[in-house]
Structure 1
Amino acid sequence: MDSLKIKSLEDRDLGQVLAIEEEAFSNPWSFSTFIKELHNNYAYYLVGLIEDELVGYLGCWLLCNEVHITTLAVKKEYRCQGIATQLLDELFTNVKKANYQKVSLEVRASNNRAQKLYKQAGFIKVGRKQEYYSDDQEDAIVMWKQL
């Protein structure tokens, strides 16, 4: 596999991000949601590229001393190749430099693969939100990582 280049999300990346979003999630975000996120001063997005192909992305909000991951997805044919881990590592490096102290997220209770990824990245399970997801009322597992 060619090396992954990580950069900030730009308007021109949205088409490829939306394609991954629709492939990865049962209730994908819309184009207008991503436009709002892209222009939200509290939102921070990274994308991973192999050559010119966008293969994954990560989004979060920067709140006081905490970073809250809102989304993370990798293109189907590139999963299990370390791309999500590299995106997380880049996020941790960047937000640590800006003196953020904690990273939080919610993940579907049924998404064991993502929970394993987050545990390997140093997150711990700290709670559960009942019927968190609006599309099917699935519970969310709340996880934190201290930086």
Structure 2
Amino acid sequence: MTLNGLPKYTPAEGEIRDMTTDDLDAVLAIERSAYVTPWSREMFRSELFFDACVNRVALRETEVVGYSCFALVVDEAHLRNITVGRRWRHRGVAKALLHDMIRIALEQGAVFATLEVRPSNTVAVELYNRFGFNVTGVRPRYYGDTGEDALIMWADLRNNDYGRTGRESDYYGTDAKT
């Protein structure tokens, strides 16, 4: 058991699957609790019906505990959104979703992955670093709600063992906190 008596999220105890329109209420509840300017229902719906986008939900039993949205274009995966419900943070859900994205990206022929992240989101920056992402640039005043810059991060998936092996220990190690 971990924080608040909730267990760690592990593949053996949870599931990651494609997001459907039936998941949107739960996804929106998580999104709205996490962001000052959340994505709208229509934004998520358009992601679901755009061929280049892959949208996944992490479940614990029947509860949606997190989700990821990424696009696959030519040889790149672009992480557009990854969010975990407040009760489930620091339990390995984001790690599992990121691992899932890299696995799918590699299966589809992606060589690189990219994302933008707020510099103030140090937990996410550290997670991305552990998955081989490096800061390659800055988008000034990228976030309209606060005017905060965005760090641009890239990973070369050919050099990332997390995506290739698929072993739980490669992304959870002995201490699954994120």
TM-score normalised to the size of structure 2?
Answer: 0.80
**2:116 pairs with 1:82:** no
Give the partner amino acid of 2:83: A
Deviation at 1:112, TM superposition (A): 0.8
Partner of 1:104: 114
Q: Following the alignment from structure 1 to structure 2, what is the Cα–Cα distance between the partners of residues 115 and 39?
A: 29
Q: Following the alignment from structure 2 to structure 1, what is the Cα–Cα distance between the partners of residues 119 and 98?
A: 20
Deviation at 1:109, TM superposition (A): 1.6
Q: Following the alignment from structure 1 to structure 2, what is the Cα–Cα distance between the partners of residues 141 and 78?
A: 25
Q: Following the alignment from structure 1 to structure 2, what is the Cα–Cα distance between the partners of residues 98 and 70?
A: 17
Aligned counterpart for 1:118 among listed residues 118, 122, 128: 128
Unmatched 5+ residue regions in structure 1?
Answer: none
Deviation at 1:35, TM superposition (A): 0.9
Q: Following the alignment from structure 2 to structure 1, what is the Cα–Cα distance between the partners of residues 101 and 148?
A: 27
Q: Following the alignment from structure 1 to structure 2, what is the Cα–Cα distance between the partners of residues 130 and 49?
A: 35
Partner of 1:132: 142
Deviation at 1:44, TM superposition (A): 0.6
SS of structure 2 residue aligned to 1:36: helix
Q: How does 1:136-147 map to 2 (within 5 A)?
A: 136-147=146-157
**2:9 pairs with 1:9:** no
Q: Deviations over 1:3-52 (max 9, x none)?
A: 12000101100000000000111210011111111111111111100000
- Structure 1 stretches of 4+ with a deviation exceeding 4 A read none
Deviation at 1:129, TM superposition (A): 0.7
Deviation at 1:120, TM superposition (A): 1.3
Q: Residues 4 and 83 of structure 1 are in contact (CA less than 8 Å); yes or no, is this contact kept in structure 2?
A: no
Give the partner amino acid of 1:35: R
Partner of 1:36: 46
Q: Following the alignment from structure 1 to structure 2, what is the Cα–Cα distance between the partners of residues 94 and 60?
A: 10
Give the partner amino acid of 2:133: F
Identity of aligned residues (%): 35
Give the partner amino acid of 1:19: A
Deviation at 1:97, TM superposition (A): 1.2
Deviation at 1:135, TM superposition (A): 1.5
SS of structure 1 residue aligned to 2:83: strand
Give the partner amino acid of 2:59: L
C-alpha root-mean-square deviation of aligned residues, in Å? 1.0
Q: Following the alignment from structure 1 to structure 2, what is the Cα–Cα distance between the partners of residues 5 and 32?
A: 25
Larger radius of gyration: 2
SS of structure 1 residue aligned to 2:109: coil
Q: Following the alignment from structure 1 to structure 2, what is the Cα–Cα distance between the partners of residues 110 and 95?
A: 27
